[in-house]
Structure 1
Amino acid sequence: MYLNCHSYYSLRFGTFSEIELLELAKENCVDSLALTDINNTSACLNFIRKAKEYNIKPIVGIDFRNNHQQLYVGLAQNNKGYKELNDFLSYHLHNKIAFPETAPLFQNAFVIYPFKQIIETLKKTLNTNEFIGVTIKDIPKLRLSKTLLLENKLVILQPVTFRSKKDFNTHRLLRAIDNNILLSRLPEDQQACFSEQMIHKDQITKEFQEFDFIIRNTKKIGSQCTIDFDFSKNKPSLNQKTYTGDIQKDNELLQKLCTEGLPYRYKNPGKKVKDRLKKELDLITKMNFVSYFLLNWRIISYAQEQGYYYVGRGSGANSIVAYLLKITDVDPIELDLYFERFINSHRTSPPDFDIDFSWRDRQDITRFIFSEFNNVALLGAYVTFHYKGAVRELGKVFGLPKFEIDKLSGGDYDYNSLDHIHKLVITYSQLLQGIPNYISIHASGILISEQPLHNYAATDLPPKGFPTVQFDMIIAEDLGLYKFDILGQRGLAKIKEAINIIQYNQPEKANFDIHDIEKFKKDPNINALIRDAKCLACFYVESPAMRMLLSKLKTDNYLGLVAASSIIRPGVAKSGMMREYILREHDKNRRNNSHPIMLDLMKDTYGIMVYQEDVIKVAHLFAKLTLDEADVLRRGMSGKFRSRKEFKEVQQKFIQNCRNEGYEEQLIFEIWDQVASFAGYAFPKGHSASYAVESYQSLFLKAYFPLEYLVATLNNGGGFYRPEVYLHEAKLLGAIIHTPCINVSHYEHILKNNHIYLGLNILRNLDHKTAELILSERQIHGDYVSLNDFIDRVPISIEQISILIKIDAFAFTQKNKHELLWEAHFKLHSISSNYDQPLLFKEKRTEYRLPEFASSKLEDAFEQIESFGFPICGYYEILTTKPVNQNRANDLKAYLNKKIDIYGYLIAMKNTSTSNGKRMAFGTFLDQFGDVFDTVLFPPVQEKYKLRHKGIYRMYGKVVEEFGFLSIEIIKIVKQDYIQDPRYA
């Protein structure tokens, strides 16, 4: 009876989920209804999946609208009709064109025109599949309308958008947000009618009782619509089924590639290697995963052809087949990787492959995938309203001034003292939380399916230019579509660019193999960097937390780094297992605290769950779950899946099985808490090993080519820290830093011997177009010889040339920057500011006699702060009061368990909470000599001093040590003032 229902995937219009729609239908004894979101199909698949649980027949369709003015509702008669509707919607979304006033002739879909439109605008004869929809409020007009004569064409089209007045209010707020206007100015035609609510099945029948033919027509349409997808546990994959077009040829190709890869990876492969390979190939073939491996192989083989660096990780990195195909560089034999984490006979989904490419290369890889394979789309994701964002949006809708919105979003208020409007903002921002705001793109997921993806949903075409399905990863997996993860990261780009710089700067030393990981693992210089936590700029190991962990563990080898890469993950730390791991690393007797089964399962990590596959081991071998159940448990530890019925059932079975095994209750729940606290965050061991390989590559470059590597780091977006920290490190290593120069600098930073010239891209207000003109003109006609020469050759405004002069980009002229600024103003004064071509003939320039000007290094420092965010000389040079002591990070050992007064420039901080919810912070500082030290501010100190912003602080605190890692427990901390800007003094 309800053929026009909206969920909150009618974006910024609907107010509740597709599940709540089903619950509403059940409450009103409705046994069949249609989900028809506005220009969207995001909820359709989950609506179909869940409808069976409510004994409701699902019908799906689309409410087609232009600027939220309803044109017609399309209902899929069957799966073919669903695709037709998706094709039609996608075509208009991709091309960003309005829908026509009349629908095309669908072969397997019904079209229902609203009664209002029929009587006002529509002039056509209805096709067999087309009907007129009547709402309850249309009944009075229907009695007087000629359309009443079209008995067989009239159906009930009562929209459902709200459940209550609160939903209606939420809807109006969403519409105001969407239109970016005040709520009081929201037009009537941009909002739904309050009557768009579901009423009881008997009541709606009563409303239309004088038109029994309308009720019959409506039921008939409902009975003719049947759609279904296989959501069963053992459904076949919907991914592309073959790579070559023939399953047997696929099997032969995979066997051939493994045979060819064997001698490259293993010079003398033993029985263990061959047995593992046979076991994997047999199971991959049996499970029909061959094409999945071959598709990944084709992607990385293209990357190899193009010279792109990549890292293959995920559970697939546990596979020897992936190792032989060069999808990963992780040897599963060396690391004793758990086979069942990669694949098992119970598993229906293929293993995960996360393939990282340089952020510079990722776009081309994505383009290749779309051109190489059929039926490809990016995976969708939903950006939902969060509390702070909702407060800001609602504050604007209610017309609040910015400072009041800031106070509300920051939580800086007493609710009881708020006025009515402010309370409404708070109340409705809480209601908006979790509602989808817009469809986005999954961070990395790409679908390659056997059938057209419009079989399952419509697609959008976001700015990236690749079709994107209107559903997310969870629904894709439910359906049997498994994503290919193609990620972009800057670490690989840093490695690649560093090698290019080395080849240019030191070609005689560029004959190393960056993929010779075995050699790097044994290199004492690299391992010393890990042991001493001197890993600044190196992939995954440079953060303060990782530096602390490495210092405490005294890790100096590859396997130790593999473990550390997973131990640092949030879940392990949260469960207390990170600290326990460190304790057991240093105290062998403590390792016996583990249950014997746990110790036997995880010998290498002293009985502590560190890797994702440890969850499977514990669930399968400790709690006696099947491998299939264990994998449900692993997947269910994060995201939407945790609330799924399947996960709840497995959780209960885990606990019951442990009781059946006779374990004590305390042990059962201790183990369960460990599993539950970190499994969703932990890495598979192969994943950690892949990260450790990349860490070793970056550590090799840092150890032997530090300046090249640091410049590459800066040119690829830096890393954990701000750019100034990497330049500071370069200075400590002997580099001389130069501000941008119009004759030497490129767009990015460059290294010449030990001189680093900052690139034009660092200048915040310099137009990209201006920078390109400067560089292209220099490349064609050579260096600029003077300011006059530059002005003659480059069309530039006084504002843009001033930026360059102030930052000393014309230092080669040996003229004072103030003198150059005067000259530039004089010489550009007579030229139109919008001229866009260099002069054909050089004008004769008047030379002016100017007084002598003076500038200071302090002026330069403030100019640099204004131009690119920091002074090259460092902030200590511009303190109002110079440090009164010379205490430094290297002195901390001598102050152990004593108080120290020390200065530090804040380079990183982390806010966190204690177990009782109080705020505390960790701060990392550079002392006045350039060395790093760490601090902790416990809740009373953080509450009093509120460490927040970068700057130089003088601090007083107690030096403490834990496992050799020194830090300062702050007692008092005061931010130091800088001198007044001499340019304006």
Structure 2
Amino acid sequence: MYINCHTYYSLRYGTFSEEELLRLAIEFGQEALALTDINNTSACLNFVRLAKAGGVIRPVIGVDFRHNAQQLYVALAVNNAGFQEINDWLSEHSHAHKNIPDLAPSFKNVQVIYPYRQIQKLNKKHFEDYEYLGLDLDDLTYFHSSEWRIYTHKLVFLHPVTFRNKTDFNVHRLLRSIDNNILLSKLRFEQQALPSETFVADLENSLTNTGGENYIFLLENTKKLLDTCRVDFDFSPNRPHQNLQTYTQSLEEDMALLREKVNEGLKKRYDVVTEQISRRIEKELDTISQMSFVAFFLVNWDIIQYCKRMNYFHVGRGSGANSIVAYLLYITDVDPIELDLYFERFMNLFRTSPPDFDIDFSWRDREDVTRYIFERFGKKGQVALLATYNTFQHSGAVRELGKVFGLPKHEIDLLSEGTFVYEQLDATSQLILRYARRIHGMPNHLSVHSSGILISEKPMHYFSATDMPPKGFPTVQFDMIIAENVGLYKYDILAQRGLSKIKDSIEIIKQNQPNAPDFDIHDTKPFMKDPLINNKISQAQCIGCFYVESPAMRMLLKKLSVDNYLALVAASSIIRPGVSQSGMMREYILRHRDPERRKLAHPIMWDLMEETYGVMVYQEDVIKVAHEFAGLGVAEADVLRRGMSGKFRSTDEFRRVNMQFIENCRKMGHPEKIIHEVWNQIESFAGYAFAKGHSASYAIESYQCLFLKTYFPLEFMVAVLNNGGGFYRVETYIHEARIHGGEIISPQINLSSIETHIVGKKIYLGFQFLSGIEEAVISAILTERSQNGPFTSLNDFLDRVAIGIEQIDILLRIGAFDFTGINKRTLLWEAHYRLNKTPPKTLQQELFRTPPKHFNLPKLTSSQLEDVFDQIELLGYPLCDPFDLLLETPVQTHFVEDMPKNINQVITMYGYWVNHKRVKTSKGERMLFGTFLDQRGQWIDTVHFPPVAAKYPLRGRGIYQITGKVVDEFGFLSIEVIEIHHLAYIIDPRFAETSEKSNVQNKKLPSNITEPTRKIYSSSLG
């Protein structure tokens, strides 16, 4: 009879899973068992689910309440209401970060067991009906003389179970050391469990022989206690979901409201309502009603309405875009009729897993959207964030254990990185690696799911205790898998920077071009027909535009000459691993470029997917093939589609549909070879391709970005900079702005803000890009400037802003005081004299300002090159062409524009490194794909096969001399590198020797370096 069992969700304490706990309980002949993790309920629901499925152990759940490692009491739930009471109590203290009190509250449906040592400490002599005194085997040796021996009816067997064996005990001690951040040798007795906390082989005999008295009655009392506890949750596949059941007051009102909002959207979305549209709406509404998801749609609609009121942009994507009801509610902007999207991909009666909408918001807006959801739907504690488990992985486990064993950092690094020969390690290092494997995969701490929010009908504490992480919203203690098992289906509220770029661009355009023509960024259909925008896509001129800017997408767009919406939708899915790795991406490109090759498509596949030349590109294509080619029902076909993912691949349901697919194909007379060929295509990619609606959502957002970049390129690039860039580094987007005519100006004390802003064509970089500048200093500058006007001189600035010499040094070196017309070296000396390294902490306004003392300084100068190297140090890139910083001027032979004339020829080019990607070949060898910019700002794409990658490794940022063969693959030109060399820069004149400095300073930068046609940006040198 065990009423105090721990799993490894007793974080950094327990040593095995809830599955293993149940296995051990069966092995030791238990009929009922209580899971009581320490201040945690993560495993409770899954423990009940597994126990019910096994049918051997009756599960009891509760919590072992402790202060650090000191056990205060164990609480067992009598019923579900009792579990909620326990969760309320635990959450109250978790949210407030308060210690658990020594005494339990007056529970109504909870049994409380105090350990004997705690009873002694409290000198507790009165026990309520729900309170018990727990004895362990060690307590029995002297309990016969205890004054509490008279409470016979209150005595129960409280023996903790934490380990399986001695190894587990060792793991426990290591975890406790990690938790307390101490050396193993410093771990105290009271910080750890006893090694005896295991299942006892002969429990009755142990109780009979302990202390000379028969304590067998403890087992009878414990059994009676366990018999009072009956907690149950429904985990059956057909159980009703536990989400909010009604949005209004009743199901009938909900359905009426949903129809009303659908009809409102119908008038706005469609000029002509066809019979097809009407049938589709009725079909979806019927399914939504049957599956009890009316409130689910209305809650999402409500969230979108709030966002419209707040002018927050959103994108509804994922399989939810397959729903015309979602389209009419403006949850998504993808027309499923136009794209022939199956609703069954999103929701059907056969589907056992929940549907969900993936709704993206701006990263600036998502927190407020989350706040709204909690306030709107969580007034009775019905809303919480989902949790995830951060587990010990090899590197982290090795590092933690290395600290526990007292290893020096360089030895920990060696073990963590795996750069060792195991046999050559000392005994301690080998021990660390062995125990790192033991704790690998164990939960280390709870974290917050990236996007999942639960909105339940019952209070969330009915299912779990909640934590209060730094985000400030209650978070359950289980993950999305457990949530789905019990019927809680998440709402996905995600954040992305792409939407912020769009929203910010529009605001910047209003400020910088107040007379610009009006446009509706949400009306994307005109964008899709715009030849200027489509030409940008076909030429892959998409830098800054969401996901289409990456090197892989640039390559694909050029190979396909993508110049329309549907082609961009297809490209969004073709780039996914399943399509590309199965060979279908290449086949799609071949058929796209060669109409004759399309004849290779099987007639049935061509009829089903003429739009994609008979090649499966989307997840929906699996449904099409299974439905039309194999004769499966659409809902069953979606089961097959879901079965492709690793999570469901082994399920009986998938195997049944798999067999039915083959059997149906045979009945329909398809040749055996074709059956298996089609099946192999399905199996090779379906788990990795995008849903078509998902790709369409991404394509719409890309068109919005492309519209802005085409007609308002400078404002758009400023928005990109202010939202953290994108796939590339900041300097790439500065280059792109300059290419489009922008004049880039370093941060200025009177003209710059925290973020970058634009006036006309002048782009003032924000203070946020200055390395080492403090937020408090920026805030003080902007506040003072706003209240009392621009600064007139350095002395005026120092009189008005409290600043240290290190901070003013940054501002002077970047040229923030260039407006004074005084050389910055002179200003630096003046600042040093004024501040003397001890600036006042605060400044008081003076009634009569006395002029600062004047110092006679020698005439100081600084060269243009010194300014450039200051920019490199403080911004990370210079505001000049990096090619002008080369030690030796390159003998240029070719530019990107020369590549078409030199196909299959070996040429030499010079390129500034942008990025590179490492990949492994089928033989496990390393090769590289590189991205560079030539001297005219055009993109160079390189391929480095394994021998070249090994012989000529890339050394990061800088300029390279690239020699290789020009290769044309489907119209996309790249360089197959033969050799590549990193070129040297000139010496930084600030640190050069006198003779070198003289030579370097005499180097003049070209007078035309500000021309927008030049590539004018760089990064740290070398």
TM-score range, shorter chain: over 0.9
Cα deviation for residue 653 of structure 1 reads 4.7
Comparing 933-942 and 334-343, the one that deviates more = 933-942
Contact 1:794 1:838 in 2 (8 A): no
Identity of paired residues, percent? 57
1:556 maps to 2:563: yes
Q: What is the match of residue 118 of structure 2?
A: 117
For residues 622 and 716 of structure 1, the distance between their equivalents in structure 2, rounded to whole angstroms, comes to 47
Residue 780 of structure 2 aligns to a residue whose secondary structure is helix
Please tell me the residue identity of whatever aligns with 2:273. Answer: P
Cα 1:582–1:741 change in 2 (3 A) is same
Residue 356 of structure 2 aligns to a residue whose secondary structure is coil
For residues 476 and 949 of structure 2, the distance between their equivalents in structure 1, rounded to whole angstroms, comes to 46
Q: What is the match of residue 713 of structure 1?
A: 720
Cα 1:959–1:138 change in 2 (3 A) is farther
1:842 maps to 2:849: yes
Q: What is the match of residue 388 of structure 1?
A: 395
Q: What is the match of residue 910 of structure 1?
A: 917
Report the TM-score when normalising by structure 2.
0.92
Q: What is the match of residue 64 of structure 2?
A: 63
Cα 1:592–1:416 change in 2 (3 A) is farther
Contact 1:289 1:350 in 2 (8 A): no
Contact 2:36 2:61 in 1 (8 A): yes
For residues 905 and 51 of structure 2, the distance between their equivalents in structure 1, rounded to whole angstroms, comes to 67
For residues 179 and 641 of structure 2, the distance between their equivalents in structure 1, rounded to whole angstroms, comes to 39
Contact 1:176 1:183 in 2 (8 A): yes
1:757 maps to 2:764: yes
Please tell me the residue identity of whatever aligns with 2:690. Answer: F
The C-alpha deviation readout for 1:796-822, integer Å capped at 9, x for no partner, is 111111110011000001111110010
1:884 maps to 2:883: no
The C-alpha deviation readout for 1:210-263, integer Å capped at 9, x for no partner, is 311101011112222111111111111211111111211111111111111112
For residues 934 and 429 of structure 2, the distance between their equivalents in structure 1, rounded to whole angstroms, comes to 45
Aligned pairs for 1:287-686 (under 5 A) are 287-347=291-351, 351-374=355-378, 375-619=382-626, 630-635=637-642, 637-638=644-645, 641-642=647-648, 647=651, 649-651=653-655, 653-655=657-659, 657-658=661-662, 661-662=665-666, 674-686=681-693
Residue 546 of structure 2 aligns to a residue whose secondary structure is coil
Contact 2:32 2:60 in 1 (8 A): yes
Contact 1:315 1:353 in 2 (8 A): yes
Cα deviation for residue 590 of structure 1 reads 3.8
Q: What is the match of residue 12 of structure 1?
A: 12
Cα 1:486–1:767 change in 2 (3 A) is same
Residue 548 of structure 2 aligns to a residue whose secondary structure is coil
Among 233, 240, 244, the residue aligned to 1:240: 244
For residues 809 and 313 of structure 2, the distance between their equivalents in structure 1, rounded to whole angstroms, comes to 40
Contact 2:955 2:982 in 1 (8 A): no
Cα deviation for residue 666 of structure 1 reads 6.9
Q: What is the match of residue 91 of structure 1?
A: 92
Please tell me the residue identity of whatever aligns with 1:292. Answer: F
For residues 131 and 666 of structure 1, the distance between their equivalents in structure 2, rounded to whole angstroms, comes to 71
Cα 1:453–1:336 change in 2 (3 A) is same
Structure 2, gaps ≥5 residues long: 209-213, 993-1022
Cα 1:877–1:149 change in 2 (3 A) is farther
Cα 1:149–1:805 change in 2 (3 A) is same
Residue 159 of structure 1 aligns to a residue whose secondary structure is coil
Q: What is the match of residue 705 of structure 2?
A: 698
Residue 545 of structure 2 aligns to a residue whose secondary structure is coil
For residues 394 and 675 of structure 1, the distance between their equivalents in structure 2, rounded to whole angstroms, comes to 45
Q: What is the match of residue 103 of structure 1?
A: 104
Residue 547 of structure 2 aligns to a residue whose secondary structure is coil
Cα 1:158–1:268 change in 2 (3 A) is same
Q: What is the match of residue 1009 of structure 2?
A: none
Cα deviation for residue 451 of structure 1 reads 0.7
Cα 1:477–1:252 change in 2 (3 A) is same
Cα deviation for residue 402 of structure 1 reads 2.0
Cα deviation for residue 473 of structure 1 reads 1.1
Q: What is the match of residue 208 of structure 1?
A: 207
Please tell me the residue identity of whatever aligns with 2:109. Answer: N
Cα deviation for residue 192 of structure 1 reads 1.8
Residue 481 of structure 1 aligns to a residue whose secondary structure is coil
The C-alpha deviation readout for 1:249-288, integer Å capped at 9, x for no partner, is 1111111111111121111212221221122222222322
Please tell me the residue identity of whatever aligns with 2:128. Answer: N
For residues 670 and 384 of structure 1, the distance between their equivalents in structure 2, rounded to whole angstroms, comes to 40
Cα deviation for residue 677 of structure 1 reads 4.8
Residue 208 of structure 1 aligns to a residue whose secondary structure is helix
Q: What is the match of residue 138 of structure 2?
A: 137
Please tell me the residue identity of whatever aligns with 1:176. Answer: S
Please tell me the residue identity of whatever aligns with 2:206. Answer: E
Comparing 574-583 and 266-275, the one that deviates more = 574-583
Cα 1:169–1:446 change in 2 (3 A) is same
1:47 maps to 2:47: yes
Contact 2:804 2:838 in 1 (8 A): no
Among 275, 280, 286, the residue aligned to 2:279: 275
Q: What is the match of residue 224 of structure 1?
A: 228
Please tell me the residue identity of whatever aligns with 1:45. Answer: L
* CA RMSD between the two structures: 2.2
Please tell me the residue identity of whatever aligns with 1:204. Answer: L
Cα deviation for residue 830 of structure 1 reads 8.6
Contact 2:640 2:658 in 1 (8 A): no
Residue 98 of structure 1 aligns to a residue whose secondary structure is coil
Aligned pairs for 1:963-982 (under 5 A) are 963-982=970-989
Cα 1:667–1:117 change in 2 (3 A) is farther
Q: What is the match of residue 250 of structure 1?
A: 254
Contact 1:793 1:839 in 2 (8 A): no
The C-alpha deviation readout for 1:654-706, integer Å capped at 9, x for no partner, is 15642564477876666555545544433221111111111000000111111
For residues 351 and 395 of structure 2, the distance between their equivalents in structure 1, rounded to whole angstroms, comes to 41
Cα 1:32–1:366 change in 2 (3 A) is same
Cα 1:836–1:125 change in 2 (3 A) is farther
Contact 2:805 2:837 in 1 (8 A): no
For residues 673 and 2 of structure 2, the distance between their equivalents in structure 1, rounded to whole angstroms, comes to 52
Residue 884 of structure 1 aligns to a residue whose secondary structure is coil
Comparing 746-755 and 11-20, the one that deviates more = 11-20
The C-alpha deviation readout for 1:507-552, integer Å capped at 9, x for no partner, is 2214111122110010000000111111000011000011111111
Cα 1:95–1:543 change in 2 (3 A) is same
Residue 244 of structure 1 aligns to a residue whose secondary structure is coil
Cα 1:428–1:619 change in 2 (3 A) is farther
Contact 2:802 2:839 in 1 (8 A): no
Cα deviation for residue 297 of structure 1 reads 0.7
Comparing 917-926 and 339-348, the one that deviates more = 339-348
For residues 20 and 593 of structure 1, the distance between their equivalents in structure 2, rounded to whole angstroms, comes to 54
Comparing 615-624 and 134-143, the one that deviates more = 615-624
Contact 2:78 2:111 in 1 (8 A): yes
For residues 630 and 637 of structure 1, the distance between their equivalents in structure 2, rounded to whole angstroms, comes to 11
Cα 1:477–1:830 change in 2 (3 A) is closer
Cα deviation for residue 589 of structure 1 reads 4.3
For residues 919 and 659 of structure 1, the distance between their equivalents in structure 2, rounded to whole angstroms, comes to 44
Structure 1, gaps ≥5 residues long: none
Cα 1:372–1:20 change in 2 (3 A) is same
For residues 520 and 838 of structure 2, the distance between their equivalents in structure 1, rounded to whole angstroms, comes to 55
Residue 19 of structure 2 aligns to a residue whose secondary structure is helix
Please tell me the residue identity of whatever aligns with 1:822. Answer: W
Q: What is the match of residue 31 of structure 1?
A: 31
Q: What is the match of residue 156 of structure 2?
A: 155
Q: What is the match of residue 905 of structure 2?
A: 898
For residues 899 and 685 of structure 1, the distance between their equivalents in structure 2, rounded to whole angstroms, comes to 41
For residues 498 and 58 of structure 2, the distance between their equivalents in structure 1, rounded to whole angstroms, comes to 51
The C-alpha deviation readout for 1:823-857, integer Å capped at 9, x for no partner, is 01111229644235555542321111111112122
